Amino acid sequence: MEDGIGDAPGARRLTPRERSLLGTALLAVARHMQTVTDVRRASGRQRGRREAAIAQALMDVHSSPSLWDAPFLLSNAIAAGVMPRETPRWWVKRRTGGTWRDLTIADDASEDYFHDKLRMTRTVFNDIAAACSPFIQRRLTHYREPLQPDHIVAYALYRWASGETFESSTSSFGIGRSSGIKVVDHVTKAILAAYPEKIAFPTGHRLLQVVRAFGGKGFPNCLGAIDCTHIYVDKPANAPSENYFDRKQQFSVVAQVVVDLDMRVIDVFVGYPGCVHDARVLRNSSLIRRAEAGDIFMEDPIILPGGVRTTGYLLGDNGYAPRTWIVVPYGGSEQTGDIALFDTRQKTTRGVVERTFGRLKGMWRLFLRHHKTNMNNLPQQFTAVCIIHNLLLEAGVPFDERLLLDRDREGNTVPIDLGLQDLSQPVSQVDATEAALALSDALRMQMR
């Protein structure tokens, strides 16, 4: 160090004349700032003297050659590496600590805190952040260090897990509201790009496991169960709000989900307004087109009683019409014998969908409560959360059953609302094909 100015590695040393000019300039700036400060502290009675002092100070500043050279000397010194680059203080909002700073602490005591805030272990989080990093890496500029990928991913996960508003959640991560909105959108796209095959019907060895699991429940060649849930939102501002008013007199969006017995999401379709019936959502989804084109159910055919042949199907409730690839209950409270047994087993087996919604919405509470959202990217956000849901299942991350409980207005503990809405009436089976009805009959007879 010499005269308070150090030499960085490989930096050019200032000449004696440059050091003298730079020191003079800095001294002039300091004196000017001190003069202004003293004048501001003067009493109101000395207004004339104060104004005269300010005018004299400004004249001294403008008449000082050293001060005119100061900006050039300072910039040259910084560029040459003689003086270290300071963190901007004027035009950049300084970042704060909060939740993100607590999450970066790596010790045994912080693991529970990490799981509570982001719903996963630190190892799984690091894997997700690394996978998303190529899609959200920020460019380094001269203004400030950009947000790092792990910081960005952590905020999006926290937003989905806590359900907090952008106003309250961004402050604990040291970012602004507008940045928070962009972060969630960027992370959503990054997850969809990093895990394009994470939501898909099983194939290979995994398909054998799924078929064997359903076969043990009495449904051979079954690939999954299908149902819909409602994602509650505030009154939409960029869409006709009356379309989103559902049977519970709330604004919502319908999400159609197919899962296997391990609660893995294997198909998801989101976006239709809450007033739309489950059967109509199915008719407008890609699932029905792929199924009827023969692109999904391609298992080796099995022969059921009565000579009925099937290559695969799903289990659904009476919100769907029977199809050759959807098996629904017979329905009715007066059923007895093997029909009642079939309906009971069918309902119990497809109950895995409700358990999936419980884990999914219990963990990611943004989709549990009413919240402001952009209807254009809500489907992508829910799909991204379903991908994370599958990743956590594969990693064996446990689920806290207490997340299935909530508090009502009186403070009483109540089960969370999973967004499952009872049908006003079952879908009629009158128009069902003979092949669809024969599949249900064959499965029923096999259970005898």
Kindly state whether residues 286 and 348 are assigned to the same domain. Answer: yes
For the record, the structure tokens of 109 come out as: 């005591």
Which of these three, 195, 218, 243, is where a domain ends? 195
| Residue that finishes a domain, picked among 145, 164, 195 | 195
Task: Give the pLDDT score at 93.
Answer: 42
Q: Based on the fold, state whether residues 191 and 278 are members of the same structural domain.
A: no
Q: Is the pLDDT of residue 164 over 60?
A: yes
Do 138 and 285 lie in one domain? The reply is no
Determine what percent of the chain is predicted with pLDDT higher than 70: 75
Q: Estimate to the nearest angstrom the gap between the alpha carbon of 179 and the chain centroid.
A: 15
401 to 130, 160, 363: CA distances (angstroms): 29, 18, 10
pTM for the model stands at 0.76
Domain assignment of residue 141, yes or no:
yes
Domain residue limits at 172: 99-195
83 in a structural domain: no
Residue 387: inside a domain = no
Whether 409 maps to a domain, the answer reads: yes
**Digit-coded pLDDT (tens) for 303-314:** 999 999 999 999
Q: Is 386 helix (H, G, I), strand (E, B) or coil?
A: helix
pLDDT of residue 118: 93
| pLDDT value, residue 406 | 85
14 within a domain of the structure (yes/no): no
Residues 345 and 442 placed together within one structural domain of the fold:
yes
Residues 191 and 209 in one domain: no
Name the phi and psi angles at 327, rounded to 5.
-105, 125
CB 429 within 8 A of CB 438: no
178 and 122 within one domain: yes
- Per the structure, how many domains does the chain have? 2
Shared-domain flag, residues 242 and 347: yes
159 shares a domain with 228: no
Tokens of 5: 């100015």
Distance between CA atoms of residues 369 and 355, nearest Å? 18
pLDDT at res. 184: 95
Report whether pLDDT(31) > 50.
yes
Instruction: Supply the angle between the helices 110-118 and 122-136 in degrees, to the nearest 10.
Output: 50
Distance CA 385, CA 156 (A): 10
How big is the chain, counted in residues? Answer: 448
Per-residue confidence band for 101, with pLDDT thresholds at 50, 70 and 90: confident
Residues 322 and 252 in one domain: yes
Q: Are residues 214 and 330 in the same domain?
A: yes
Q: Does 66 fall in a domain?
A: no
Same domain, 144 and 254: no
Q: Which two tokens stand for residue 244?
A: 């989103």
Residues 349 and 225 in one domain: yes
Q: Is residue 244 part of a domain?
A: yes
Single residue among 157, 173, 195 that ends a domain in this structure: 195
23 belongs to a structural domain: no
Q: In the predicted model, what is the mean pLDDT of residues 346-353?
A: 96
